[in-house]
Amino acid sequence: MLNEGPDRINELPDEILLEITKGLSPGDLTAFSSTCYNLRRVTTEQREAQRRLQSAICRQLHSRLRAWQT
């Protein structure tokens, strides 16, 4: 999705991002974080898209952890 343009991600409401990231695993988050870290030359829009995606993934993982602990 980042290849299609970060503005597409940045325009999505948080609810949609949460829906998109529902199926992602902790391993997906690790891979995504590594990819973001390794990008050296990114635009402000790409950084914002990465931040929003990572935030949505983290919220999904925290939600699953809370559900698992109850």
pLDDT digits (tens, 9 = 90+) for 47-56: 787 788 878 8
Q: pLDDT tens-digit profile of 15-46? A: 877 777 777 776 776 676 666 556 556 677 77
**Residue written as tokens 């990231």?**
21
**DSSP secondary-structure letter at 13?**
-
Supply the pTM of this predicted model: 0.48
Q: Domain residue spans in the chain?
A: 2-69
Helices 26-38 + 44-69 axis angle, to 10: 160
CA distance 60 to 56: 6
